[in-house]
Amino acid sequence: TTVKIKNGKVYFTSDAGIAGKVERNIPEVYVADGHWHTFLIGKNGTATVLSVDRIYNRDIIHPTQDFGGLDVLTISLGGIPPNQAHRDAQTGFDGCIAS
């Protein structure tokens, strides 16, 4: 599962294996505006819920990767870990991340 900012918009991609790849964005809000934003990923039953600032929401009914189970090995913010260097990394992020 990948969350990225592209052209100021939040993009979500999840590969659920045999169920297929899901790509969604939240076009209603521009987040590269110099202000802090809150991004949440959650589950509501079988749906995955994306939220920016708890105002702009997107429900994904299609199966997504189970990011909340015991099989999650790594959660990375701001880049790709060295042991996964085979994955494509995008440069150019200028901002702050807080948890």
Of 17, 5, 2, 21, nearest in space to 97 by CA: 5
pTM: 0.69
Domain of residue 54 covers 2-79
Note the pLDDT of residue 3.
Answer: 84
Read off the pLDDT of residues 78-98 as tens digits, 9 standing for 90 and up: 666 666 656 666 666 666 666
Q: Which residues lie below 8 Å from residue 58, measured CB to CB, with a gap of 6+?
A: 12, 24, 25, 26, 49, 50, 51
The string of pLDDT tens digits covering residues 6-65 is 899 999 888 777 777 888 899 999 998 888 888 888 888 888 889 999 999 998 887 776
Reference 68, options 98, 44, 39; nearest CA is 44
Give domain status of residue 85, yes or no.
Answer: no
Task: Please give the tally of structural domains in the chain.
Answer: 1
> Does the residue 39 lie in any domain?
yes
